[in-house]
Amino acid sequence: MCRALKCYFVFVCVFFLSGCGCEAIINRTAFDPVTTNAHAVQDIPAAAREVYIETEDHVRLQSFFVSGRPSSRLIIYFHGNAGNIHERLPELQNLSKAGANVLGVGYRGYGKSTGKPSEAGIYRDGRAAVKYAMENLGYAKDKIFLCGRSLGSVVALETARNNNFAGVILVTPLTSGADVLRAHGYTIAPLLVGDVIDNMKKLPEIVSPVLVIHGDKDEVVPWAMGEKIYAALHVPKKMVTINGGAHSDLEFVDSYLYHRSIAEFIRAYSSH
C-alpha cells in the first residue's frame, strides 16, 4: 500500500474514534508528520527562504516563502496530512512558475514547527498564514490565492469561508471523512463520524472563485468527491480532470495540464 493511501486510511479510521470523544488519540494518530530531518539552510533553494509564522495560540509554524520573481500575487499552499513543508519545496517552486509568489505553510507539529496537530489547530494555522501574508509580506486579500491539496483542501476551504480572496485552488479535495470511509468499504462507521473534517458544510460560505483539480484514478480520495464539491459550489468555478492521475502524481501524469490550469486560473482572477 502506498504511503499516501496508508496514511489516509489511518487518518479516516482514527477520526471514527471521534464518536467516542477520544480527542487525545485522534490528535496523536490522525496526522503523519515528519520531524526528524534538520533541514540545513544550505539545502533550501536560492529562490526560497525559511520563515516562521506565529499563530493566535503561540505556535510557531515552519514555512517557506518562494519568490522567483517580483509578483503582486501570492499563493498560500496547504499540504496533505503526511510529511512536512520542507518536502514540498519542489512543488512550491513549480507553483511559483504560475505567475505568483508562494507561501508554503507547515502545520503545527510538522517539520520544525512547534505544537501538536489537530483539526482545530490546523484551522488556526490557516488563519495565521493569511495574517502573516497580509501584515508581514504586504499582500492584500484580493491578491491572495489559497491552494489546498488533499487534507490541505480542508484548511483552504475553512480559511476561505466568508472571505473574498482572489481564488481557491483545490487539488484532490475530499468531501468529508465520512465519505472517505464509505469509499473504502466502511458502512456503519460513517454514521458515527458526524461532521469531522467536513468540506461540504463549508461550501455555502465560499465566495471566492474556485479551481478543482482531480485525477480520475485517485485511489485515496475518489474523483467523484472532487466532482461533488465542484457541483455544490455557487461561485465562478472550473474543474480539471487529470486522466490517469492518482492521488499523488497529478503533476507527473500530465504536467502541462496541471500547471497550465493553475496559471490560467491565476491570470483569470488576478485583480489589477
C-alpha to C-alpha distance for 177 and 10, rounded to whole angstroms: 11
Q: Would residue 63 show up in a list of annotated catalytic residues for this protein?
A: no
Is residue 161 within 8 Å of 203, Cβ to Cβ?
Answer: no
Instruction: Kindly report the number of other CB atoms within 10 A of residue 119's CB atom.
Output: 20
Catalytic residue among 32, 198, 218, 254: 218
Is residue 175 within 8 Å of 131, Cβ to Cβ?
Answer: no
C-alpha to C-alpha distance for 6 and 8, rounded to whole angstroms: 5
Catalytic residue among 118, 150, 176, 208: 150
Secondary structure letter of residue 168 according to DSSP: E
C-alpha to C-alpha distance for 171 and 149, rounded to whole angstroms: 5
The secondary structure element, H or E, covering residue 28 is helix 23-29
C-alpha to C-alpha distance for 60 and 242, rounded to whole angstroms: 36
Secondary structure letter of residue 176 according to DSSP: B
Q: Would residue 259 show up in a list of annotated catalytic residues for this protein?
A: no
Is residue 122 within 8 Å of 85, Cβ to Cβ?
Answer: no
Catalytic residue among 153, 247, 254, 261: 247
Q: Determine what percent of the chain falls in helix, strand and coil, rounding each to the nearest 5.
A: 40, 20, 40
Is residue 66 within 8 Å of 93, Cβ to Cβ?
Answer: yes
Indicate which residues carry an active-site annotation.
Answer: 150, 218, 247
